[in-house]
Amino acid sequence: MVETDEKQTPVDTATRDAQVEEIARRLGVRAERGRRFAELTSLRVGGVIDWLLVPESEEEAAATVGALEDAGIAWRVLGAGSNVLADDREHRYVVVSMREVKGGARFEGERVSVSAGFSLPRLCVEAARQGLSGIEGLGGIPGTVGGALWMNAGAYGHEIGQVVESVRVARGGRVVEVPGSEVSWDYRHTSFKEGELLLGCTLKLTPDDAEKIKARMDEAKQKRFATQPHGARSAGCFFKNPPGSGFSTGKMIDEMGLKGERRGGALVSPVHANFIVTEGEEAKAADALALAEEIRERFRREHGIELEYEVELWGADEEFKDEGSEEGEGETGKG
């Protein structure tokens, strides 16, 4: 089941393992081996993670990736894992989990400062309670603040980028503050680069009546509840809507009659056709990917449109640090 990475000799692996161990020990960061993406992502599929590092503060997270970079060790960052499809093979880079970098949301006037691992739905609830408006549309998105910043999460008229005053980013092992105005906040895409770790942010919100904010948040949640699958193993919308077209990819896949279409343990959600959900113990990342590629192929044929992935595809042997993709899946979906 596990493929060996041809580029790494056993000596390389042993040296790297010793280096990762030393970094974790020196920085006092929890290190776990043998975890699986199937346990750490909402699609509940995906292979073994060689090393999982779990820092507990923004400073610790910055120092961790700084040390990994100094040692030339490839890493990737995972938040709630609610927008990631990792393939079934053994992933030999270090995964830095931001889940424990959460602390509490710190409110001051119209501003709130929060760390990357903090839950986005929880932040929306707390902001509403404080009488602060601007993110209530995002209330039902099951991710971390870091993940939301990374891809400029949006729903029901709100996008997180619209209210970001500054973002804290890891640079050279330290926490550096970047003004939100220096970041491009596009549709499900930002100018942050692979290799850049987002640690937290300060949002500037708008005072409003707490009850009204809560009512808008509840309305968005109800809409989501009525039109999107809940409780299912999904990664949200799988594809972006075609840019500038005003079309809904979900509606178009639905009209193509693909709701319920299945490949192994993956199927097009019968509730919203832009959701691929997985079912059963035997479900594989390969099932979801095969189904997604089948949809893209049909979409190309019937509409002449090349669907772009909205979820991130993580290949075990992808040269992600160089933005390259040599073979296999090719598409990285980060575009």
Question: Which residues are catalytic, by number?
Answer: 188, 237, 310
As measured in angstroms, the least distance from the Cβ of 23 to ligand EPU is 34
Residues contributing to the site for ligand EPU (CB under 6 A):
155-156, 227, 236-237, 240-241, 248-251, 254, 272-274, 310
Nearer of residues 66 and 250 to ligand EPU, judged by Cβ:
250
Nearer of residues 168 and 272 to ligand EPU, judged by Cβ:
272
Q: Which residues contact 11 (CB under 8 A, 6 or more apart)?
A: none
Report strand pairing: 84-86 vs 312-314. parallel
Q: Which tokens sit at 104? A: 């509490």
Which one, of 259, 260, 267, lies nearest residue 283 by Cα? 267
d(CA 292, CA 9): 34
As measured in angstroms, the least distance from the Cβ of 220 to ligand EPU is 8
Q: Which residue has the tokens 């669907």?
A: 307
Looking only at Cα atoms, what is the longest distance across the chain? 62
Q: Which tokens sit at 215? A: 């009512």
CA distance to 127, 233, 298, per residue, from 205 (Å): 8, 32, 42
As measured in angstroms, the least distance from the Cβ of 208 to ligand EPU is 20
Confirm if 240 and 309 have CB atoms less than 8 A apart. Answer: yes
Confirm if 293 and 268 have CB atoms less than 8 A apart. Answer: no
Q: Which tokens sit at 323? A: 């933005």
Q: Which tokens sit at 86? A: 């990792």
Report strand pairing: 132-133 vs 206-207. antiparallel
Nearer of residues 210 and 258 to ligand EPU, judged by Cβ:
258
Confirm if 316 and 36 have CB atoms less than 8 A apart. Answer: no
DSSP class of residue 88 equals: S
d(CA 143, CA 323): 24
- The residue of the chain with the least Cβ separation from ligand EPU equals 236
As measured in angstroms, the least distance from the Cβ of 54 to ligand EPU is 26
Nearer of residues 64 and 241 to ligand EPU, judged by Cβ:
241
Nearer of residues 250 and 333 to ligand EPU, judged by Cβ:
250
200: three-class secondary structure by DSSP: strand
Nearer of residues 76 and 272 to ligand EPU, judged by Cβ:
272
Q: Which tokens sit at 185? A: 């906040």
Q: Which tokens sit at 118? A: 């903090």
Nearer of residues 30 and 300 to ligand EPU, judged by Cβ:
300
Residue type, 79: G
